[in-house]
Structure 1
């Protein structure tokens, strides 16, 4: 059969088809490569985002854990000093020279508890800090006249009564040199609400430390 088209046209058409096919193949390969590169890029960005998110979550948990530890430490330090002071009150030792160290920004620390504690529980903690602040003010003002030993003794007793109620004199039998923080509140002498609050803080700290370990 004879060719319908002249040979020079046939070659031109074949060349054109080859060019078109090459372009299509190149476009397809380029598209596949671009999609793969985009997919890899998205995967890497997603991985980076997740790592950053995990880091932020761990930091947030760590910060909350730190604030709750400070609250527990402030309360227990005040308990230790109150018991020690009342046991030594009759020995006329210099027990009034040193205020009880507490976190000056305790309102921020207590606010951290908002999502985990009831309003009543937070109020109980704020009341303890208010007593400690009054106690420290009296200690700093102690002169033997304006604020005397009796006033400071009453402050210590008020703090212990707030936590132990009518059992506050019994806790004076504690040996503050050997007793642990937990033993101060994990007993039958403390008021139930404060026992529950401090145990709750313990449990949350323990759970948080496990989650970031």
Structure 2
């Protein structure tokens, strides 16, 4: 009887306390679930941002390498084509025009950006060509001050550097029918420069592909 009275008296309080405890437990559990979900989403978002940053850096690295490789390839191709044209005209006693070879002034930066693609020795080959191009441009800009033999030697020196004793054969080629690949994909060019120009061509093609792949990922 006494127990019944006690139970009856405190039933409401007990139930309220139990309800509060259950409510607290449920609330805590829900808060934990929400916090866990929020943390997971936050971690996923951080990983997504890191991945986007990685793709962004890769895109610009590939783009910069591709730009530098294309600039160097264009400079070298122009120098070879123009040298062939000049030497051929001189040999056949045709009209000669003294034009400087268009080339980038900050070529050292572009060559340096290709350092991961070439050995030190191979990079030196490219620098040597730019040295000849600079000398050639210096002479052709002020060609009135030089004897004809000096100017001719400046042009032939570039071809001799790349093709060795075969430069005389190269002079007889029709530069209008030649592609960049034709300049190195032959048995006339010296082996060192054949490798350098071939790698340069590969860099341009591969980096362009990489840029397109990363660019497509951005669009998705």
TM value normalised by structure 2 = 0.89
Q: How does 1:45-60 map to 2 (within 5 A)?
A: 45-60=46-61
Deviates more, 1:6-15 or 1:48-57: 6-15
Provide the residue aligned with 1:76 in structure 2: 77
**Runs of 5+ unmatched residues, structure 2:** 213-220
Structural RMSD (CA) = 1.6
Provide the residue aligned with 1:150 in structure 2: 149
Aligned length: 209
Provide the rounded CA distance (Å) in 2 between the counterparts of 1:101 and 1:4: 107
Provide the residue aligned with 1:179 in structure 2: 178
**Runs of 5+ unmatched residues, structure 1:** none
Q: 3-state SS of the aligned residue for 1:5?
A: helix
Q: How does 1:39-50 map to 2 (within 5 A)?
A: 39-50=40-51
Q: 3-state SS of the aligned residue for 1:168?
A: helix
Provide the rounded CA distance (Å) in 2 between the counterparts of 1:109 and 1:4: 95
Confirm whether residue 91 of structure 1 aligns to residue 74 of structure 2: no
Provide the residue aligned with 2:216 in structure 1: none
Q: How does 1:124-143 map to 2 (within 5 A)?
A: 124-143=125-144
Confirm whether residue 116 of structure 1 aligns to residue 117 of structure 2: yes
Q: Residue 179 of structure 1: CA displacement? A: 1.2
Provide the rounded CA distance (Å) in 2 between the counterparts of 1:84 and 1:4: 118
Q: Residue 4 of structure 1: CA displacement? A: 6.2
Q: 3-state SS of the aligned residue for 1:62?
A: helix
Residues 162-191 of structure 1, C-alpha deviation per residue, up to 9 Å, x if partnerless? Answer: 001001111011111121111111111110
TM value normalised by structure 1 = 0.91
Q: 3-state SS of the aligned residue for 1:76?
A: helix
Residues 55-82 of structure 1, C-alpha deviation per residue, up to 9 Å, x if partnerless? Answer: 2202211211221121111111000000
Provide the rounded CA distance (Å) in 1 between the counterparts of 2:121 and 2:163: 18
Provide the residue aligned with 1:166 in structure 2: 165
Provide the rounded CA distance (Å) in 1 between the counterparts of 2:5 and 2:125: 102
Provide the residue aligned with 1:206 in structure 2: 205
Q: Residue 6 of structure 1: CA displacement? A: 5.1
The 4+ residue runs of structure 1 with deviation greater than 6 A are none
More helix by percentage? 2
Confirm whether residue 23 of structure 1 aligns to residue 24 of structure 2: yes
Provide the rounded CA distance (Å) in 1 between the counterparts of 2:107 and 2:128: 12
